[in-house]
Amino acid sequence: MELRDEDLILEEVRDYLTAYLRNIHQEDIILDNERVVVDLNQLYNSGLMEFVEFLVNNPQRGIEFIRECYDEAYYTLRNERPTNIIIAVKNLPKIFKTTKKGKVFTIEDIRSKTLGKLVEFEGIIVMASKIKPMLKKAYYLCPKCGREVVREIDILNADSEKAVCECGAELNLIEHKSIYTDFQEIKVQQPLDLMENPEEPPKYITVFLENSPGIYAGRVKITGIPIKVKKSKKLPIYDIHVKALHCEILDGEVKIKLTNSDIEKIKKIAKRKDVVDLLADRLIPEIKGHSAIKKAVFLQQIKGVKKPGKRADIHILLITDPGIGKTVILRKIAEIPGNLYGSVTTATGVGLTAAVVREKTEIGEDTWVIKPGLLVKAHKGTACIDELTVNKELQSYVLEAMESQTIHISKGGINAKLPAECAILAACNPRWGRFNPDVSVAEQINIPAPLLSRFDLIFPIRDVSDKDKDKDIAEYIVDLHRAYLDEKINKEIGLDYFEVDGVKIDKEFIIKYIYYARQKKPVISEKAKELFVNYYVEMRKKHQITARQLEAAIRIAEAHAKAKLKDVVDEEDAKEAINIITECLKEIAYDPETGIFDVDKILGVSKKERDKLTTVYEIIKELSEKSELVEHEDIVEEAKKKGIKEEELENIIKKLIKYGDIDEPKPGRYRLL
């Protein structure tokens, strides 16, 4: 559309726009709200198409005109003029946020040609400064001629704050009259799901927020004006930043477009009895076997059902022998939109949670800023963490993220609760190279017990020699190498895709299937409830399990029902979840001496060992009644009577010292603490 004369356009719509604002924003006027947000899409659809186009190309003048019309609307309802009204705009019509190539406007489309125009884009916050006061309306007094001057301060106009009177004297700021606003600088990254080529490094841009409530993390939609900031003193070179007129916090969940054809294909495949096994296996085609783990990871991507105070996310830990391919698994899952990969070996501990540091920004040389870590940036997705190790300093933050799914930060004047509603798929190697089923999980990895207990599923992946299995794996690895170069072999092993019931199953289809299945909210049936209750009661009778295993089973069953597009969690889903939990416990919590599952064994102390620790502690307690320091020989003698061998006793005493129950002030002599 060719734009006509500016004044003509504005005068033609003045009365209509004033009436529109009086009607649509009546509540803002009655409540005397200082900030008024105008929906441009709604304005466009009301018939003001030409004005909205004018505003997109001339945002400063367009917003000023809206302010003039709002002033009139305000006056007709309240018979007075508003003071210090802030006009913001949001929700650009689709025609103005679609590029010539037909794709959604993104950070990488912000160029010199967009300077001074109105744009809208999404981004993920990777840095956020603390809030600082910004002078918005300055009242000055001239000490020479006595003139009082009022200036609107705008970040778009670098010269607007020059305080010089017409008489040439330097103006003095009248502090008590001047008006300040809350100002914040954030840096946002283009979401991978919106990048034209996800393999390229992500694009970033700095955004200035006025009247900011304090936004520190998450996915946001920015409506603003690209501005230039001079960087070189010698050359006419500028950086492009964005002055935000509106910043909307999005729910963080990636939106994937599904056509009617996509939905038909998804529903068709969902009817297959083996749909979960089928899609789970193809989710990570580079890895041969490990079907139980693939199924668990597939269900993790679909999630359980979110309820108040209950997380829907399923946390999984893989403890793998060297060469199994844990990094391949994690990186493959990280390719799903909304998921992120990170390795603790290449990132600091705060790189997992969040860092508060002093940093040079556009608004200051030494500004406190928050840098959200992996768990925050993966909000609503999955954080794929390689080489997971957690020190004591980091433990409380990760624990909070896993259970309450938030990370609380309080430092440098910044007090914020960052959203971290994500599933965790973590992997690590055993401390001594290979996983030992006879030793507790806690003793083999550098993850504290409280954190370990928050994982719903812990899978050891062992490299056990088996001639037939080894042959299959070797053949598959060789075929993988051939498949990358030979289309026929690629099709034979289904590396890129395969067809089932006339539907092409590839990476794109599986991602769409996961996204569609996530929308379901199945309710637990009475029969499924009965199964869960009986399972828990029976397991509690014979085995040492806790309510955490029941909660995990419910999440897995819900995910299984969603994967089959059901509205109800039925017996099949409950049985499948119980089987997955049981298989997992067999690997990490089965005590062959007692024949029971004991979840405490995961954390380093089995029931049998716990009983022996208690026995030895009671022996020392009883002996200490006679003497403050108990002799080693006396403990050995009493322990033998209880069936505890001397070599076994040494380890028990060491653990009692480690747990802080006793100490050894003199060699061979012990006391209670």
Say what angle helices 291-302 and 547-563 make with each other, to 10 degrees: 80
d(CA 89, CA 161): 25
pLDDT recorded at residue 364: 64
Successive 10-residue mean pLDDT values, the chain, 673 residues: 68 91 92 91 92 93 93 91 88 87 86 93 89 86 87 65 79 87 89 76 88 85 91 80 91 82 94 94 82 94 91 92 82 91 67 77 72 87 86 70 82 80 90 74 76 87 67 70 72 72 90 95 96 90 77 96 97 95 82 68 66 86 87 90 86 77 84 77
Beta strands at 179-189 and 132-141: parallel, antiparallel or unpaired: antiparallel
> What's the Cα-to-Cα distance from 48 to each of 31, 45, 55, 97, rounded to whole Å?
26, 7, 11, 17
d(CA 190, CA 107): 6
Can you read off the two tokens belonging to residue 467? 């001639």
Neighbouring C-beta atoms of residue 131, cutoff 10 Å: 18
> Do 316 and 455 have their domain in common?
yes
Number of domains comprising the chain: 5
- Three-state helix/strand/coil letters over 199-212: CCCCCEEEEEEECC
- Of 542, 569, 601, the residue at which a domain comes to its end is 601
Question: In terms of domains, do 348 and 416 share one?
Answer: yes
> Among residues 43, 68, 95, which one ends one of the domains?
95
Give the domain-ending residue among 62, 95, 128.
Answer: 95
Q: From the CB of residue 477, how many other CB atoms can be counted at a distance below 10 Å?
A: 13
Three-state DSSP state, 565 = coil
Q: Which domain holds residue 584?
A: 520-601
In a domain, 305, yes or no: no
Question: How far is 211 from 182, CA to CA, in rounded Å?
Answer: 5
Tell me: do 324 and 453 sit in the same domain. Answer: yes
So what's the pLDDT on residue 74? 92
Please check whether residues 576 and 447 belong to one and the same domain: no
| Cβ–Cβ under 8 Å, residues 405 and 450 | no
349 and 423 both lie in a single domain: yes
Residue 291 lies in a domain: no
Task: Based on the fold, state whether residues 120 and 167 are members of the same structural domain.
Answer: yes
Q: Which candidate, 510, 501, 522, places its Cα nearest to that of 569?
A: 522
Contacts of 439 by beta carbon, 8 Å cutoff, 6+ apart: none
Instruction: Examine residue 144 and state whether it is found in any structural domain, yes or no.
Output: yes
Q: What angle do CA 544, 547, 548 make, to 5 degrees?
A: 100
Same domain, 236 and 119: yes
On whether residue 260 sits in a domain, the answer given is no
Residue 526, domain member (yes or no):
yes
CATH (domain of 356): 3.40.50.300
How much is the pLDDT for 464? 64
Do 126 and 197 reside in the same domain of the chain?
A: yes
Q: Does 267 map to a domain?
A: no
Query: The domain that contains 563 carries what CATH number?
Result: 1.10.8
Are the C-beta atoms of residues 421 and 379 closer than 8 Å to each other? yes
Q: Are 70 and 113 in a shared domain?
A: no
* CATH assignment at residue 90: 3.30.1640.10
Structural domain contains residue 390: yes
- Would you call 372 helix, strand, or coil by DSSP? strand
Q: Does residue 284 belong to any structural domain of this protein?
A: no
